[in-house]
Amino acid sequence: MGIWSKIRILWNLSWRKFIYYNFFCTKVVRKGKGYVLPYPNAVIDLGKDAQVILEDGHFVINDNKPSGSKAEAFLKLRENATLLIHHDVVLNYKATIEIHKGATIEIGSAYINSNAVILAAKRITMGEGILISREVFIYDADHHPIINASGEQLNLPRPVVIGNHVWIGLKCTLLRGSKIGDGAVIAANSLVGGKIKAGTMASGNPARSYSEIIWKG
């Protein structure tokens, strides 16, 4: 994070929330030099025994809001939920992270754009350098049970795993059990419900890899 980015963030922070969540809230665990950096209208709801763990990075909440806007970003952890952040994560305005009871989201580093929703009932794991476009939905569960005649649930939660340096395009949906390899790009409006090979471009419904990507630099 450059010096001018740091100055902009500090200038516009919600200082009351900054002081509370970094120095008084026992549900935020800062292990390194990182801080929770909430902009005005950042909505943070941490349930009983929930934890936000910052290993060594900042967590910016409600970033990039238009001047004069009252738009909100949402962070909601239910009872015993865990959000583990290793490096810098930015949650843009109108974006949501919600973690259900006992579930975990682990993020290396990520930029999460506006109107994206990340909702975990079990576990979502994201690597380093993740770019999530607007209106992306990432779910590890259907969040409504489908029961067969024997009383068994057919649609149990299944972890979502996103590798390093993955770009998820506009209006994509990732369903339970999705697994995206390192360096993959998911084209806009795609639906992912299975495995995407590392280093490939994928698109469609359901999404399929169709071209290899060679990253430079």
Residues recognised as catalytic: 143
**Which residue bears the tokens 């910052």?**
54
Strands (E), 78-165: 82-85, 89-92, 96-99, 104-107, 110-112, 117-120, 123-126, 130-132, 137-139, 160-162
Q: What distance in Å separates the CA atoms of residue 42 and residue 152, rounded to the nearest whole number?
A: 40
Residues 20 and 172: their CA atoms lie apart, in Å, by: 35
Displacement of CA 185 from its chain's centroid (Å): 17
The conformation of residue 55, written as its DSSP 8-state character, comes to S
Tokens 């090979």: give the residue: 197
Beta 200-204 vs 185-186: how paired, if at all? parallel
Structure tokens at 39: 């902009």
User: What sections of 27-166 are H helices per DSSP?
Assistant: none
